[in-house]
Amino acid sequence: MAVYERSYRLWKGEPTPAWTRVLTIPRYVVRDVFRSRALLAYFVACFIFPVGCAAFIFMVNNAELLQTLFPGADVSDLVKVDGGFFLFVLRRQIWLSLFLAIFVGPGLVSRDLVNNGLPLILSRPFSRVQYVMGKMLVLCSLVGAVVWLAPVLLLALHVNYQGLSWVGENSRVVIGVLLAPWLWILAISIFALAMSAWVRWKAVAGFGMYCAVLAGYLLSEMIDGLFHTELAGMVNPILVVDRAMASLIGTESLSQMPAAASWMSLIVFMGLSLFLLERKLRAYQVVR
C-alpha cells in the first residue's frame, strides 16, 4: 500500500506469546504430511503389531483362557510380561518408525532451503532454535506416537490388570518404558533434520538415512569379525540405542557392549548431527 494514501492503521491486537510460535510449523506440516494416503496408511499400519501385543497381554492376564489354549501347561512360566517383553516391542516399533522418519524427515528443512524460504522465516520474530524445535516437533509427534505411545498404552493395559502393586515391584521397567523410547525419538529426529539440511533432494536424503543405518550395521559386523571386540556396536546406531534402552529398562540387549559406551556413542551421534544442522541453518544466503 502506498504511504501517501495514509489509509493504513497500526495493528492493535495482542502479540502471540513467544512459546506458541513454535507450534506454527507442526500445525501446518503435519496436515500436509497426512495428505498422502500412502503415508497415512503406513502410519496406521504401524499400530497393527501393538494391537497384537495388547491381545497377548489380555491372554496373559486371563489364566482361564490360557488353560483352555494350553491344557496341562504351567501358564505362569509359559508367558510373562516383563522388561524383555517391552524391549521386544520397542525394537519392532523402532524399525517401523525408521521408515516413517525416512519418508517425512528429508523434506522438512530442504524445502525451505531450496526455495530460499529460510531467510524469510528467520526475518520474523522467530529464532533458529524455535525453527529447529518446530521441525523436531513434527518428527517427535509422529515417531513418538509409534515408538513411545504404543508401548506406554500396553504398559497401562498391563498395569490395569495387575494393579499398582506390579508398578512398585517393577518400577525400573515402568520408568524405562517411559524414558527409553525418547533416546531413539530424539536421535532419529535430529539426524533426519541434519540430512534434510545438507542433502536438498528429498529422495536422496531419505536414501542416505537408510544407507547410514545400513553402513553402521555392516561396519560393526566387519569390526567384530576382525577384532572380536564388544565395542564394534558403537558404530551401529540401532545397537547403540538398543543397549542404552536395555540399561534403562534393566534387561538384556542384543549387543554386549558396555552401557557407558552406548551412551557415549549416542551423545556423540546426536552432537554431530546438531553441529551439522547448525552449520547449515543461516538467516542469510550468499548468492554467487
Picking from 61-75, 127-141, 154-168, which range would have the lowest pLDDT averaged per residue?
61-75
pLDDT at 228: 78
- pLDDT of 103-113, one tens digit each? 898 888 888 87
- pLDDT of 5-59, one tens digit each? 566 677 677 777 777 778 888 888 888 888 889 999 999 999 999 999 998 888 8
> Quick check: 235 pLDDT over 70?
yes
Is the Cβ–Cβ distance between 87 and 251 less than 8 Å?
A: yes
Q: How many residues does the chain have?
A: 288
92 — pLDDT class (breaks 50, 70, 90) = very high
pLDDT at 227: 79
- pLDDT of 200-218, one tens digit each? 788 888 888 888 888 888 8
Tell me what the mean pLDDT of segment 138-165 comes to. Answer: 93
Q: 115 φ, ψ to 5°?
A: -95, 10
Secondary structure, 3-state, 202-216: HHHHHHHHHHHHHHH
> Quick check: 287 pLDDT over 80?
no
Cell matching residue 208: 542416505
Q: Which of 63-67, 117-121, 217-221 has the highest mean pLDDT?
A: 217-221
Is the Cβ–Cβ distance between 249 and 176 less than 8 Å?
A: yes
Tell me what the mean pLDDT of segment 94-107 comes to. Answer: 90
- pLDDT of 3-16, one tens digit each? 555 666 776 777 77
pLDDT at 6: 60
More confident residue, 65 or 191: 191
For the chain, what is the mean pLDDT?
84
> Quick check: 76 pLDDT over 60?
no
pLDDT at 54: 93
